[in-house]
């Protein structure tokens, strides 16, 4: 079993790639996958962190209030 590192591209490249995916979750799964560590520009990692927090917040809200919650 190995240690999976992934290099994260520049923020502008990530934002362009995000447009090709239907959701933040789908994009994050494709970019991060099952990596053990990410390396790259701080701004890019911060962007991915913000998407992750947004996804977790939406999932928590759906779990708390059910499926009838308005999706952002």
Summarised one tens digit per residue, pLDDT across range 14-34 is: 999 999 999 999 999 999 988
The Cβ of residue 20 has, within 10 Å, a number of other Cβ atoms equal to: 9
Domain assignment of residue 55, yes or no: yes
Domain assignment of residue 72, yes or no: no
Q: What is the per-residue pLDDT across 38-54, written as a single tens digit (0 to 9) for each?
A: 999 999 999 999 999 99
Domain assignment of residue 21, yes or no: yes
Residue span of the structural domain in which 31 resides: 5-65
Torsion sign (Cα): 59, 48, 35, 42: negative
Domain assignment of residue 48, yes or no: yes
* Number of domains forming the structure of the chain: 1
């Amino acid at each position: 079993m190995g240690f999976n590192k992934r290099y994260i591209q520049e923020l502008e490249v990530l934002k362009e790639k995000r447009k090709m995916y239907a959701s933040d979750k789908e994009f994050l799964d494709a970019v991060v996958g099952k990596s053990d560590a990410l390396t790259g520009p701080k701004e890019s990692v911060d962007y991915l962190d913000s998407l992750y927090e947004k996804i977790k917040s939406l999932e928590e809200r759906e779990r708390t209030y059910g499926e009838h919650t308005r999706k952002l």
